[in-house]
Every structure is written in structure tokens, then in C-alpha cells.
Structure 1
């Protein structure tokens, strides 16, 4: 499976047809198709199709005996939207995903290493402001042994 890495912050807008233009630097990696799903903290997650399929398969293998894990995989699969970016690198954000993420016209796309996160610009500003200190504290606590 190919490896993809996504970094940076971008500020595209949703157009009148609810299309979001993906950052140009990632379009080649995403040209084979993407999966849009609910992300954490009311963001959307945009995965290269191959990455999402592999992740979902790993989760599904381990989840069938645990009721909470079964509920997670069902929600993940039911809420996933497979798309192929158009010639301009646009994907359409469906109404359920727009509602979940509270998307308005102004959006922020954030590289999250192996996938992209899509946020409403105001929600991103609020989230990143509220969690500014978490970055420096994470080195000592939650990322111990990884960094």
C-alpha cells in the first residue's frame, strides 16, 4: 500500500454546490479516490481510499466480539462517503457531513499525517485556541516514548 503524508493548514471555501477544493499539493495522492467520514471533535476526515479501506479492514477484524467496537465500525462504515475528486480537485461534502462538522462557506483543511481534517473555520479557530497549550504538554504526557 502506498504511503501518504499530509501536513499544513489550508483555507478553501465551500462553493454554492457544496464542493470543497482539496489543496493542490495533495491532489495527485488523492486522485485515485477518497473516503470522507466523520472525524474527531466534529471535524471531517478525508482519507486516500486505499488508506481508509486498510484501516477499516483492520478495525473490522478486531471489533466483532466487542459491542462498543462493533458500534464504532458500523458508524464508521455507514457514515463514509466514497468520492473521486473532479478535474479541479473538488469533492462534494454531503448534507450529513456538513451538519456534523458545522461547515459554513469558510473552511480549514488540516494535514493530519495520514489523512486530512476538514473543519469549519470558526470551529477550527476555537479548537486551536483552546488547545494551544496541549502541544507543549503532550510531549511530557501523552506522547512519552514516541517523541
Structure 2
């Protein structure tokens, strides 16, 4: 009878993916994969996020397949890069686990309109003002 003497091993210790900001909820971005040399339930793996970060709320992981899907609003202006820690845990008794990192490079999209702020420098502009007279300060960002 097989004993649970092997821990799962990810196919890569580090996964990297580029994701556009504003990617629709429900979009699959990447799958992680681990294997276990044990047999039966000792080799069956469940995936989960590991750690307490706000970024975890942006994604969900399928515990059986390792597929990571968008579940929140990704915004480049808030986070240009996101790091997730994923755990692969077997169903042995006692269970064994291992971890990998998923680095998400958020790609900026042109999704913000320009903001124009005008600050008047004069209350009244006379008709005989000389060319080049400063009448207002215009800032665009």
C-alpha cells in the first residue's frame, strides 16, 4: 500500500504572464500544474492561493485544474505587477504541499481621459493687451 512520502512538484517554480488591465471577469490567464509521484489519493492534488494579499481578490483558482481566472477589476494605475503564491497540496494523510509563484505583468491600456485644469491669471483681458501676455495657466494631465 502506498504511503504519502512524496510532496507535489510544480512543473515550474515561477510562472509569468502578461495581462491587459480591464481584462473581463471570467477570463482565464494561466494554468499552473503540479504532479505527485505517489499513487491513489496520495497523488491527487488540490490548488489554492497561499498568503493574505489583496491581489488574491482579483483572481480565483480552480482547485482541481490549477486554472487561474480573473474575478476582479485589474487596474495598471493601482498595480503594474501582481505576485500570487499558489499552493499544491495532495490528499494524503497527512497531506504534503509545495508552492510556486505566479508573476502577472499588467499591461497599461489607454483607459483614462485627459484632465484639463485652467487657472485664470487675469480677471479681465484688455483688448489692447500685448501679444504674449499670460492670461491663464492651462494644465493637462
The TM-score range, normalised by the shorter chain, is under 0.3
Give the strand-richer structure, 1 or 2: 2
Asked which structure has the greater CA Rg, the reply is 2
TM-score (norm 1): 0.19
Specify which structure has the bigger relative contact order, considering alpha-carbon pairs within 8 angstroms and separated by 6 or more residues.
1
With normalisation by structure 2, the TM-score equals 0.20
